[in-house]
Chain A
Amino acid sequence: MDSNLEASVRSAARSVETGYSAEVAQEIVDNCVDAGISLVASLPDDWIAHSIASFEQDERINHVPVNREESALGLCSGAFLAGTGSAALMGASGLMTLVYGITKINYTYEIPLFFLITHRGTFDDGAKFHVSNGLYLEDVMKSINLPYTIINSRDEMPMIGEAYHHSRKISRPTVAVLPKKLLQGKV
């Protein structure tokens, strides 16, 4: 079997073929590193395949692919208690599975956690099965008082660091939301 690195390189190439930007993926990594993040736990959504590959291939990051999004929440929450800066990278659907973990672990113990998620279900999302995220994602985040910011263009990429540091400041999770056009390098 090919190595994880080879598989990751192929996945990144496939992501570029399907319209996603290698440069934007690298900018996301760089902003995370600049913010002090050294551990990234991820589970894919098609839009972030290249970001996952870029984290995997960057030596400044300990990238841990996980079996389900709850494991990313658990891992990053534990990493906080070792003093390791971390991010949990996932699709909007992944975040939607985490209401229990966020409220039960992070709110109970007041453990910060930084999420990078996709903005699925927007008007430019071609997938019919993401209609639920379009309808409910933002309302769900609001309903559990989960602060989020949408990174609308590459100029706004430094908001990644701000969102990460905000989670430390308020001892609660925060979310940076990545739109499709940003990940495609169109905005």
Chain B
Amino acid sequence: MQYDEAIAYIASRWEDELVVTSAGTTSELWHAETGDTERVFYLEASMSLSSVFACGIAQGVGDKPVWVFSGDGAFCMNPGMLQVERQMNLPNLKHFMVSNRVYGSTSNVPLPGRVDNDYPAIARGFGIERVYSFGSMNELTATFDEAVLEEGHTFIHLEVEPMDYRGASPPMDGPEVKFRFGRYVERVTGNQIFTAPLDHD
């Protein structure tokens, strides 16, 4: 499966889910595909923390769905993230793990373990119950509704080809990403983020 085709398809199915992208190609492609600057937190600054960051969001937004992307390089840095995800077991969290077997956005440097890593097995090994693995567009499109739209914490492994891609980062400084996303969450959930009172007395 081609990386950009998979992302384009997922973006075409996007409705009102909150989205968190990871450092690397997922941020660049999702921004190139959607141009969105409100409902997406482009967590470009750090590898391996997108899914726990998304857990923090998902636990506080009721039943609003949260889609989070991680790259395989980022995932391998902190596979224990699945222990946290499993324990929190948030029914509104869908974790798309994009495996291109390389550190894509750093010029496709090969990943250690690229031949052997079995990501669905790792996810099951941490006790994740809803695990899907898609290696082709046919599989992804045929089973998308069951994997992504049905309730339940889900780990979705997407096996894609490395691509020669050097996209631009979303053109926003960190605080703008925070405020645009946070204000959107405030608007749709009624939660107080920036408007929370500061004094505790």
Q: Which residues from chain A sit less than 8 Å from chain B, CB to CB?
A: 34-36, 39, 62, 64-68, 70-71, 73-86, 100-101, 104-105, 107-111, 161-162, 164-165, 168-169
Contact = CB atoms under 8 A, between A and B. Distances in A.
B31 to A, nearest CB: 16
B34 interface: no
A176 B191 CA distance: 26
Contacts of A68: 78, 80
B142 interface: no
3 A-B pairs with least C-beta separation: A78-B56, A82-B60, A67-B80
Contacts of A77: 49, 53, 56
Contacts of A35: 200
A109 B45 contact: yes
Nearest to A34: B200
A71 B49 contact: yes
A104 B74 CA distance: 15
Nearest to B42: A109
18 contacts: A36-B200, A39-B60, A67-B80, A67-B84, A77-B56, A79-B56, A81-B185, A82-B185, A82-B191, A83-B60, A83-B196, A84-B60, A84-B191, A85-B196, A86-B56, A105-B45, A109-B177, A161-B200
Given A109-B174, A109-B178, A75 B193 contact: no
Contacts of A74: 46, 49-53, 55-56
Interface of B: 20, 41, 43, 45-46, 48-61, 78, 80-81, 83-84, 87-88, 174-175, 177-178, 181-182, 185-186, 189, 191-193, 196, 198-200
B56 A75 contact: yes
A162 B175 CA distance: 24
B143 to A, nearest CB: 28
B56 A81 contact: yes
A63 to B, nearest CB: 10
- Of A77, A100, A169, chain B has the most CB atoms within 10 Å of the CB of A77
Contacts of A169: 198
B196 A108 contact: no
B84 A71 contact: yes
A157 to B, nearest CB: 13
B198 A83 contact: no
Contact of A83 (B88, B175, B177, B191): B191
Contacts of B54: 78
- Of B55, B185, B196, B198, chain A has the most CB atoms within 10 Å of the CB of B55
B57 to A, nearest CB: 5
Contacts of B182: 81
